[in-house]
Structure 1
Amino acid sequence: MVLVGEFFLAEDDESAVRVGPRKSHDFPAVPCDGIYPDDAVPRWEALLTGAESPLRYVVPMANDGFTVFAVPQALSTALAGASADQLSTTARTWAGTLSEMGEELGPRSAIDLLERLSALAMSRAERGPSLYCWYFAP
């Protein structure tokens, strides 16, 4: 299971590679502990847009279990423009998929995560930086 992770806004890849466990930063961020974000992001994108974009890894995962990737622009845009109903439906579907795979994340927690991520994506649209994610899965 993932121990720690977060979605965050950064100006560019160079800035994004400087984040990680036990590295403080001042980027706007949403924690995503307890999930595999590189599995969740394509699922969310498919549910919200009907398509999947490949993830672009800024720091590829190595033997240490740490990675950073850029969230696809299509998902960032979809999250920023999603209605509360769309986010709720996406979150409930995703939580159901996790449950089928033996992972536990309740629908309320899934909805809360996507609502906070949507707010972050909206602020990205206003500010201009890109949405990234890092996580550590030892």
Structure 2
Amino acid sequence: MVLIGEFFLAKDDETALRVGPRRSHDFPAVPCDGIYPDDAVWRWEAHLTGAESALRHVVPMANDGFTVFAVPEPLCRAMATAGAEQLRATARVWAAAASEPDDEISPDNAADLLERVSALAGSRAEKHLELYCWYFAP
């Protein structure tokens, strides 16, 4: 199970490298503890866009269980423009698709997380930032 992680906005890949467990920062961020965010992103994009983009890893996952990836642009656009009901429907599909007992999330928590990440995606263009995610899964 993922212990900790967060979606966050950063200027570029070099800036995104400064995040991680026990590293404080002042980037706009949404915690995503207890889930596999790369799986979530894949499911969100499939539901919201009908497509699947490859994740671009800024820090590839290694034996230490830490990774940073950029959230795909098509998903960022879709989240930023999706309505509340579309986000809730996506969250329900994602919550129902939990494949392992340790990867479960309630529909309410799934909707809350997706709405908060969507707000980040919506604010990134005006702030001239990109959406990233880091997580640690030992």
Structures share fold, TM-score greater than 0.5: yes
Q: Distance in 2 between matches of 1:118 and 1:131?
A: 10
Q: Quick one: distance in 1 between partners of 2:128 and 2:82?
A: 18
How far, CA to CA, are the matches of 1:34 and 1:48 in structure 2? Answer: 23
**Match for residue 59 of structure 2?**
59
Q: C-alpha separation between the residues in 1 aligned to 2:22 and 2:100?
A: 30
1:50 pairs with 2:46: no
Match of 2:137? 137
- Residue in structure 2 matched with residue 94 of structure 1 by the alignment: 94
> Alpha-carbon deviation of 1:101?
3.7
Q: Distance in 2 between matches of 1:137 and 1:120?
A: 23
**How big is the shift at 1:104?**
1.9
Distance between the aligned counterparts of 2:5 and 2:100, measured in 1? 20
2:114 matched residue in structure 1: 114
Greater CA drift, 34-43 or 100-109: 100-109
TM-score by length of 2: 0.97
The AA in structure 2 aligned to 1:26 is D
Spell out structure 1 runs of 4+ moving beyond 4 A.
none
Structure 2 runs not aligned, ≥5 long = none
The alignment covers a number of residue pairs equal to 137
d(CA) in 1 for partners of 2:104, 2:20: 24
TM-score (norm 1): 0.97
Q: Percent identity?
A: 72
How far does residue 16 in structure 1 lie from its aligned partner after superposition?
A: 0.3
Partner of 1:83: 83
Q: Which amino acid aligns with 2:48?
A: L
Instruction: Tell me if the contact between 1:80 and 1:125 (Cα under 8 Å) persists in the aligned partners.
Output: no
Distance (Å, rounded) in 2 between the aligned partners of 1:92 and 1:101: 16
> Alpha-carbon deviations, 1:47-69, whole Å to 9, x = none?
00000100000000111000000
Distance 2:22 2:130 in 1: 22
- Alpha-carbon RMSD across the aligned residues, in angstroms, is 0.8
For residues 82 and 100 of structure 2, what CA distance do their matches in structure 1 show? 26
CA distance in 2, matches of 1:17, 1:104: 28
